[in-house]
Chain A
Amino acid sequence: MGTIELLMQGFAVALTPESIMFALIGAILGTLIGALPGLGPANGVAILIPLAFSLGLSATSSLILLTSVYAGAMYGGRISSILLNIPGDEPAMMTCLDGYPMALKGKAAEALATSAIASFIGSFIATIGLVILAPILAKFALKFGPAEYFALFALAFATLGGITGKNQFKTIIAAAIGLMIATIGIDISSGVQRYTYNNLHLFEGIDFLIAIVGLFAISELFFFLEQHAGDGLKQVALNKLKLTAKDILFVMPASIRGALLGFVSGVLPGAGASLGSFVSYTLEKKISDKGEFGKGDPRGVAAPEAGNNGAASGALVPMLTLGVPGSGTTAVLLAMLISLNVNPGPMLFQQSPDLVWGVIAALFVGNLVLLLLNIPMVGVFVKLLSIPPKYLMPIVTLIASVGIFSITGSAIDLYFMVGFGIMGYVLRKVDIPLVPVILGMLLGPEMEKNLRHALVLSDGDWTVLWSSGLSVGLWIVAAAGLLLPMVFGSILRAKMKRSKDGLVD
Chain B
Amino acid sequence: MTTIDPTPRTYPFSAPDRLRLDPFYAELRRQEPVSRVQLPYGEAAWLATRYSDVRTVFADPRFSRAATVDKDEPRARPIPQQTGILTMDPPEHTRLRKLVAKAFTARRVEQLRPRAQRIADDLSRAMRRGGPPLDLVEEFALPLPITVICELLGVPYEDRTDFRVWSDAFLSTSKLSEQQVNDYIGQMRAYMAGLVEQRREHPTDDLLSALIQARDEQDKLSETELLDLSVGLLVAGHETTATQIPNFVYVLLTHPEELDWLRADPERIPAAVEELMRFVPLGVNAAFPRYALEDVELGGVLIRAGEPVLASLASANRDESVFEDADQLDLRRDSNSHIGFGHGPHHCLGAQLARMELQVALGTLLRDFEDLRLAVDEPDVSWKTGMLVRGPRNLPVTW
The answer to whether A and B interact is no
